[in-house]
């Protein structure tokens, strides 16, 4: 199936790209994400989560899950306190009844690009295996910030620009994304600590906010 799709995986050409070219691709990804989130709700009903229940269950088991994954002890020690401190960031969407289709895994291996007039352009997304439907669109922002921006603010801003994000781009947004990243149903935070530049030695979630989600 992948062979029939237009383009190559972004991961296979990333080293060829300038920051400007990565911004162009990420801008187009943001535009695509907005279209995805506008799909009629009747088309995604089977993927809909009970969002309050999901957040509650993920919060309850977050510490044990991250402990099993071998999260560094300093981060593990302050995990529950961080979750409790920033629960309010999730409240605006917690009891909304609408839902958006969220891919949840917009990493380099799931994004396709194709060269056009000497520059690579975004052409599509593969692997909807972890997709879900929920009321909080910010859930989608976390993987581009972590796995595409890689510490470069201009790349993440390009995604938000493409999406047409109208909210504040501040520590509140960073904390919102950190909460969703910690509570997500897939993924290993240790991978992010090693993969995102400058994060492997950090020992507080507050310090990681700006590095994981560069603004």
Contact 135, 126 (CB under 8 A): no
The CATH number of 2-212 is which of 3.90.1200.10, 3.90.700.10, 1.20.1250.20, 1.10.10.10? Answer: 3.90.1200.10
For residues 171 and 122, give the distance between their C-alpha atoms in angstroms, rounded to a whole number. 29
- State how far the alpha carbon of 204 is from the alpha carbons of 2, 70, 78, 88, in Å: 40, 16, 8, 19
Looking at residue 1, what is its pLDDT?
39
The domains of the chain are located at 2-212
Looking at residue 114, what is its pLDDT?
95
Looking at residue 45, what is its pLDDT?
86
For residues 21 and 155, give the distance between their C-alpha atoms in angstroms, rounded to a whole number. 9
Looking at residue 185, what is its pLDDT?
85
For the sheet containing 111-116, what is the strand order? 8-9, 111-116, 119-125
Question: Which residues have a Cβ under 8 Å from the Cβ of 143 and sit 6 or more positions away?
Answer: 103, 104, 105, 106, 107
Looking at residue 151, what is its pLDDT?
95
Which stretches of the chain drop beneath a pLDDT of 70?
A: 1-4
Looking at residue 25, what is its pLDDT?
97
Looking at residue 186, what is its pLDDT?
85
């Amino acid at each position: 199936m992948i062979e029939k799709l237009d383009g190559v995986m972004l991961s296979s050409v990333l080293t060829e790209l300038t920051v400007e070219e990565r911004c162009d691709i990420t801008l187009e990804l943001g535009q695509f994400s907005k279209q995805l989130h506008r799909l009629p709700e009747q088309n995604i009903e089977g993927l809909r989560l009970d969002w309050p229940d999901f957040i509650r269950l993920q919060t309850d088991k977050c510490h044990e899950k991250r402990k099993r994954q071998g999260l560094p002890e300093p981060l593990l020690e302050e995990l529950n306190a961080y979750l409790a401190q920033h629960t309010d960031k999730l409240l605006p969407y917690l009891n909304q009844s609408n839902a958006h289709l969220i891919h949840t895994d917009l990493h380099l291996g799931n994004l396709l690009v194709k060269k056009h007039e000497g520059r690579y352009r975004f052409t599509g997304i593969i692997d909807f295996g972890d997709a879900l439907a929920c009321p909080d669109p910010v859930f989608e922002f976390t993987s581009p910030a972590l796995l595409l921006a890689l510490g470069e603010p201009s790349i993440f801003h390009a995604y938000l620009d493409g999406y047409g994000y109208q909210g504040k781009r501040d520590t509140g947004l960073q904390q919102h994304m950190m909460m969703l990243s910690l509570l997500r149903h897939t993924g290993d935070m240790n991978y992010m600590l090693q993969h995102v530049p400058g994060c492997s030695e950090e020992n507080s979630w507050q310090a990681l906010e700006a590095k994981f989600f560069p603004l």
